[in-house]
Chain A
Amino acid sequence: MKNRLLAIAPSVLAVALAMLLGFVVVALTKGVSEAAGAFASMFAGAFGEPSRVDELGVFAFLRPWGESATKATLLTLTGLSVAVAFRVGLFNIGAQGQLVVGALVAALAGAHLALPAGLHAVVALGLAAVAGGAWASLAAWLKVRRGVHEVISTIMLNWVALRLVEGWLVPGPARAQVEGNNSINGTDQVLPGAELPNLFGESSRLNAGFLLAVGVALALLFFLQRSVRGFEWKVAGLNPHAAKAAGVPLERTVVQAMAVAGACAGLAGAVLVLGTEHRYPGTISAPWGFDGIAMALLGQGHPLGVLASAVWFGALRAGGTRLQLAGIHKSFPELIQGVALVLVAARAAWERLLARAVRRA
Chain B
Amino acid sequence: MLEFFHTLLFSTLEAAPPLVFAAVGASLCERAGVVNVGVEGMMRAGAFAAAAAALVMPTPLGVVVGALAGASLAAVHGLLCIRLRSDQVVSGMALNLVMLALGTFLLEAVFHSSSGSTPITQLSRLSLGSIDAVPLLGALFNHSALTYLAVLAPLLAHWALKHTRWGLRVRAVGEQPQAVAAVGIPVGTLRFSAVLLSGALAGVGGAVLSTATLDHFEHHMPSGLGFMAVAAMVFGRWTPLGAAGAATFFALADSLRIGLASSAPSLAQLVPGGVQLALPYALTLLVLAVQGQRGGAPAALGQSFDLERR
Contacts and interface: CB of A to CB of B under 8 A. Distances in A.
* A touches B in complex, CB < 8 A: yes
Interface of A: 91, 93, 138, 142, 146-149, 151-153, 155-157, 159-160, 163-169, 171-172, 290, 293-294, 297, 329, 331-332, 334-335, 337-339, 341-342, 344-349
Interface string B273-310: 11101100110110011101111010000000000000
Contact of A160 (B235, B273, B282, B294): B282
A349 B101 CA distance: 25
A-B pairs, top 10 by smallest CB distance, nearest first, are A168-B274, A167-B274, A147-B294, A338-B97, A341-B94, A338-B98, A163-B278, A335-B101, A331-B101, A163-B277
Contacts of B104: 329, 331
Nearest to B40: A290
Given A147-B295, A342-B91, A142 B288 contact: yes
A152 B238 CA distance: 12
Given A149-B297, A164-B274, A172-B272, A156 B285 contact: yes
B105 interface: yes
A341 B100 CA distance: 13
Contact-residue size bin, chain B (C-beta under 8 Å from the other chain): 35 or more
A168 B94 contact: no
Contact of A142 (B277, B282, B285): B285
Given A142-B285, A329-B108, A344 B234 contact: no
Contacts of B37: 93, 151
Interface string B216-247: 00000000100110110011000000000000
A307 B93 CA distance: 19
B256 interface: no
Given A152-B235, A342-B76, A163 B281 contact: yes
Contacts of B290: 146
A10 to B, nearest CB: 10
Determine which residue in A157, A160, A172 has the highest number of CB atoms from chain B within 10 A of its CB, and name it: A160
Given A335-B98, A338-B100, A341-B97, A149 B282 contact: no
A335 to B, nearest CB: 4
A342 B94 contact: yes
Given A147-B294, A149-B293, A337-B101, 6 more contacts: A146-B288, A159-B281, A160-B285, A164-B274, A331-B101, A345-B80
Nearest to B87: A345
Nearest to A334: B101
A156 to B, nearest CB: 4
A28 B93 CA distance: 28
Contact of B93 (A147, A166, A293): A293
B227 A163 contact: no
A78 to B, nearest CB: 13
Contact of B234 (A138, A142, A151, A159): A151
A89 to B, nearest CB: 10
| Interface majority SS (helix, strand, loop, mixed), chain B | helix
Given A146-B293, A164-B275, A348-B86, A342 B281 contact: no
B230 A155 contact: yes
A297 B87 CA distance: 10
B145 interface: no
Contacts of B281: 156-157, 159-160, 163
B93 A297 contact: yes
Determine which residue in B104, B272, B278 has the highest number of CB atoms from chain A within 10 A of its CB, and name it: B278
Given A331-B105, A349-B84, A159 B289 contact: no
Interface in B90-110: 90-91, 93-102, 104-105, 108
Given A151-B37, A163-B277, A172-B274, A157 B285 contact: yes
30 contacts: A142-B285, A146-B290, A147-B292, A148-B292, A149-B234, A153-B288, A155-B228, A156-B231, A156-B281, A160-B281, A160-B282, A167-B274, A168-B272, A172-B274, A290-B93, A290-B96, A290-B97, A294-B97, A334-B101, A335-B98, A335-B101, A338-B94, A338-B95, A338-B99, A341-B94, A341-B97, A342-B98, A344-B90, A346-B86, A347-B86
A195 to B, nearest CB: 28
A171 B273 CA distance: 11
A172 B274 CA distance: 9
B37 to A, nearest CB: 7
Contacts of A168: 272-275, 278
A297 to B, nearest CB: 5
Contacts of B227: 93, 155
Interface in B26-84: 37, 76, 80-81, 84
A151 B235 CA distance: 10
B89 interface: yes
B288 A297 contact: no
B86 A345 contact: yes
B112 interface: no
B85 interface: yes
